[in-house]
Chains A and B, each alone.
Chain A
């Protein structure tokens, strides 16, 4: 059974249809890249999967849960098994790196334990271990607004990893980063897939990056899934179809 199943997913914003009945499955351990121009529905799709945005119609199944029927504690438990990283890192910048990483454990906490930030010794050790894995062992107690963009994104990845997730959703993880930090981040994501067996679902603006790192590419245009296949099948014609002729030419160059 696939880890993630999306069936006939529709999202309307008022009169505007952002997603037109999307269907696809993701198997455990895959690295899926989602490409498409701005406004093609990538961001809406990724947020419908963990219900930061409520879908209008259709079904989403993740790890045996019918996501759309979940409420309260069940929804929190399902979200805990799905990490998420963001273009702008979305850290609490006034807090330390360690505190930000431990936020990844909140999905497993009771209300009181979460409010007062009671984390067990194992959780703290796990957080430091993950930070060491990501090369941030020197920054554990540093305030996160003192970090560079690439370092902040690695804190974001650490926060997702301590959730002990089956899948990590990445929304434009490298769009705010310079090329060398981007490569570092993409290499870590690949390592997470190959060494930890975690499924990755990554929105990307960079087609070349998608082709290089992903096992499979989903192409979106105007809220419709227009391509679903391995990077090898992503021909010039397909890119022109996704991005339109002019922009397509620039990307194929």
Chain B
């Protein structure tokens, strides 16, 4: 068809793969050098880290096995954990409700005006890029140590994340049917309720379940910072050197998180 121009360097299979290999080698060398360099700068000794592992394991075996006293504290631990789980679910659910209108305004498929869309995306992006621990410290100043402070921190971090993934879900699942509904003469509310929501809801619920799981894990850290919930209980046991009870908290937490993950996997399989 077209006559090939002669001044472009010819690419043969041999030179093509040689170039790919050179590139891979360069990238690998750069990453390796960066790791060594970072270790040297921060005086982090890799060898030391590996030789410390047996010592750490021995200490854990000695101190972190729950004893009879920590088992007797189980009711108190479970009670606090239940509060934390409920608080995480509440923060996740309310943030999903708040994220939905922002996602609808920010998605390219359903936006009503480019400026509004940009504003919605900026709000979501700011919320998402502040880590949950930073949120906790910010609200600690204004609301003090309380469950409510922890709730707010989880709420705002989840809100940013959910707005972002809901926007992507809407664009992914419904842009073609939105076009079809607009062509029939449907208005914005019709399009959202009849095309966008039926198409995106299962995936949105799936993300919401993911956020609930994540929030239960983060609630431990947030609780530590805001002096509430399971994180605070862990902190109290830990600082009073009752390592066995602190370990009991961790065991209970792992069991609950696994259970919730199991439940949400079942729900996810059913709806998707």
Please list the residues of chain A having a beta carbon within 8 angstroms of any beta carbon in chain B: 50, 52, 75-80, 82-84, 86, 88, 90-95, 103-109, 111, 114-117, 156, 159, 163, 169, 246
CA distance A90 to B191 in the complex (A): 13
- Is B181's CB within 8 Å of the partner chain A? yes
| Cβ contact within 8 Å between B199 and A93 | yes
Chain B interface category by residue count: 20 to 34
B residues near A (Cβ < 8 Å) are 1, 174, 176-177, 179-187, 189-190, 193-195, 198-199, 202
Report A166 CB to chain B, min CB distance, Å. Answer: 13
Check if B181 sits within 8 Å of A106, measured CB to CB: yes
Question: Does A114 lie within 8 Å of B187, measured CB to CB?
Answer: yes
- Interchain CB contact under 8 A, A52 and B195: no
B186 engages A90 (CB within 8 Å):
no
- A92 & B179 in contact (Cβ 8 Å cutoff): no
List 22 A–B pairs whose Cβ atoms lie within 8 Å, in order of A's numbering: A52-B183, A75-B185, A76-B186, A76-B187, A77-B185, A78-B185, A79-B184, A80-B185, A86-B176, A86-B179, A86-B180, A90-B177, A92-B174, A92-B198, A106-B181, A106-B194, A111-B187, A114-B186, A114-B194, A156-B180, A159-B180, A163-B184
Q: Is the CB of B184 within 8 A of A104?
A: yes
Give the dominant DSSP class at B's interface.
helix
On chain A, the residues within 8 Å of B187 by CB distance are 76, 106, 111, 114
Contact B179 A90 (CB under 8 A): yes
CB distance from A188 to the nearest CB of B (A): 18
Query: Taking each of B179, B185, B190, B195, which has the highest tally of chain A beta carbons within 10 Å of its own beta carbon?
Result: B185
Q: Which residue of A lies closest to B191 (CB)?
A: A106
Query: Are A115 and B193 closer than 8 Å at their CB atoms?
Result: yes
Query: Residue on B with the closest CB to A106?
Result: B186
Tell me if B177 and A92 are in contact (CB < 8 A).
yes
Question: Nearest CB to that of B1 among chain A residues?
Answer: A246
- Given the known interface contacts A93-B199, A94-B202, A114-B190, the answer about A107 and B185 at a Cβ–Cβ threshold of 8 Å is yes
Across-interface contacts of B184 in A (CB, < 8 A): 79-80, 83-84, 103-107, 159, 163
> Which residues of chain B are within 8 angstroms of A104 by Cβ–Cβ distance?
184
Q: How far is the CA of A91 from the CA of B199 in the complex (A)?
A: 10
Q: Is the pair B185, A79 in contact by a Cβ cutoff of 8 Å?
A: yes
Residue numbers in B under 8 Å from A92 (CB-CB): 174, 177, 194-195, 198-199
